[in-house]
């Protein structure tokens, strides 16, 4: 199956939520494993997002991600972290809207929105076991 990453995350989240409500532990584990693959292999990690990205909630109504950004000063030295929550919601015209929470140190929130918008819209291939970028 080939689709944008945000759709895969939303579908897997919906399926996991359904399985959790119904007590289907085996299938819940399948969907949680897929979400973990997305976190570990596809969502931003490194290049400032040095602590990776975690999926806090995923469903058809929204996706909530948590990340940290490691800032550098003008001399190239690390000078602190900011914590951010990214909320992606469906949009009938532009596929999805993003809201980035957290401190806007050095104007970083616009950069974070740009990075996550591109990553979440990028197409992936899921074969039922593993997920990877389509290109």
How many Å apart are CA 95 and CA 88, to the nearest integer?
10
Helix (H, G, I), strand (E, B) or coil at 38: helix
pLDDT tens track, the chain, 135 positions: 899 999 999 999 999 999 999 999 999 999 999 999 999 999 999 989 999 999 999 999 999 999 999 998 889 898 999 999 999 999 999 889 999 999 999 999 999 999 999 999 999 999 988 999 998
pLDDT value of position 94: 86
Q: Which residues in 98-110 are b (16+ Cβ under 10 Å) and which e?
A: bebebeeeeebbe
List the domain boundaries for the chain.
2-133
Question: pLDDT > 90: what percent of the chain?
Answer: 88
- Mean pLDDT over each residue of the chain, to the nearest integer: 95
């Amino acid at each position: 199956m080939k689709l944008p990453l945000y759709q895969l995350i939303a579908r897997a989240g919906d399926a996991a939520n359904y399985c959790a409500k119904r007590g289907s532990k085996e299938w819940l584990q399948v969907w949680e494993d897929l979400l973990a693959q997305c976190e570990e292999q596809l969502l931003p990690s490194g290049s400032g997002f040095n602590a990776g990205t975690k999926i806090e909630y995923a469903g058809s109504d929204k996706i909530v991600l948590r990340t940290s950004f490691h800032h550098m000063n003008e001399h190239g030295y690390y000078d602190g972290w900011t914590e951010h929550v990214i909320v992606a919601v469906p949009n009938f015209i532009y596929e999805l809207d993003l809201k980035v929470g957290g401190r806007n140190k050095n104007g970083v929130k616009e950069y974070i929105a740009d990075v996550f918008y591109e990553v979440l819209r990028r197409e992936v291939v899921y074969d039922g076991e593993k997920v990877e970028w389509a290109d």
